[in-house]
Structure 1
Amino acid sequence: MSSASSAYRPLLPPPLALLLSFPVALFTIALFTDITYLQTAEVQWTNFSSWLIVGALVFGGVALAWSLILAIRWRGARLYALLLVLAWIAGLVNAFQHSRDAWSSVGTTGLILSILSAAFAIAASWLAHGAKWEIAR
């Protein structure tokens, strides 16, 4: 065996890595805009959060579909796909939560959902970029 075969090789093909970067960034920024809204009570911050969450769901949905295809081939991709499913579901519920008016759009529930969706997306990205996975047989 050559040392090249044991070199670090990320799981994700470059297009999927690019797609995954959007939900990670957008869910995280939505969390920060939620926190900013809770500090300032300026309603425009909830609008920012809503749009950021929708963008994360769009790109996250494409990344999720790709991850489900990868989960068929790689064992470790199943956990990655599960984390993306959890991030997407938490984000979808969060989008519905943010469609409410003013304080009730964020509040405790919206903040917790933002934390969960950002945490799941970050965990999926960390797992995908750091794992060496075996091909399923």
Structure 2
Amino acid sequence: MTAATHPTSTAGINPLHALSLSGTFPLFLGAALSDYAYATSYHIQWSTFSSWLIAGALVFTGFALLCGLIGLFRAERRAPYAIYCLVLLATWVVGFINALIHARDAWAMMPTGFVLSIVVAVLGCAATWLGFSRLGAGGRS
């Protein structure tokens, strides 16, 4: 028998879900790096740039969380989706708090904003890893 007669069911995550998830980590990482640049150079442009990166990352994380919740209700095995959704929710909540910290005066956001940017970048990395490794394999570990 040929491969064409045996369809494989390696369903990955939805392309829209993958697109929104793939924007989460790089934007939060960019915010952490621009916070570092601000801490070392004291140029206010880096603080503003970090605020915009966090805002964009929150949009992407929100869409990924929405897709994850839809996948949670449609999945046969809900444990991987539940863990993934919890990590995404934690990423969004910490990212939102980070956005509020970054809304302060430029130097008033330091060092709390920088620390939160690192924490949320790590959470975003974990969410992206969970989303593409567990959910990309059809929910199998």
TM-score tier by shorter-chain length is: 0.7 to 0.9
Report the CA distance between 1:3 and its aligned residue: 9.8
Report the CA distance between 1:126 and its aligned residue: 0.6
Report the CA distance between 1:10 and its aligned residue: 6.3
Deviations along 1:92-129, whole A, 9 cap, x unmatched?
00000001112112x12111111111111110111111
CA distance in 1, matches of 2:132, 2:61: 16
Aligned mate of 2:129, from 126, 131, 135: 126
Computed over aligned residues only, the root mean square deviation of the Cα atoms, in angstroms, reads 1.7
CA contact (8 A) 2:17 2:67 kept: yes
Structure with max Cα Rg: 2
Which residue of the partner structure matches residue 30 of structure 2?
29
Q: Which amino acid aligns with 1:99?
A: A
CA distance in 2, matches of 1:81, 1:29: 23
Flag structure 1 segments of 5+ consecutive residues without an equivalent. Answer: none
CA contact (8 A) 1:10 1:130 kept: no
CA contact (8 A) 1:16 1:66 kept: yes
Q: Which amino acid aligns with 1:113?
A: L
Alignment of 1:1-137 (within 5 A): 4=8, 9=10, 11-72=12-73, 73=75, 74-75=77-78, 76-105=80-109, 107-131=110-134, 132=137, 133=139
CA contact (8 A) 2:24 2:128 kept: no
CA distance in 2, matches of 1:128, 1:16: 9
Deviations along 1:18-59, whole A, 9 cap, x unmatched?
111111111110000000000101111000000000011112
Q: Which amino acid aligns with 1:23?
A: T
Aligned-pair identity in percent equals: 40
CA distance in 1, matches of 2:114, 2:11: 32
CA distance in 2, matches of 1:78, 1:63: 13
Larger displacement relative to structure 2 (58-67 or 27-36): 58-67
CA distance in 2, matches of 1:54, 1:40: 22
TM-score of the superposed pair, with normalisation by structure 1: 0.86
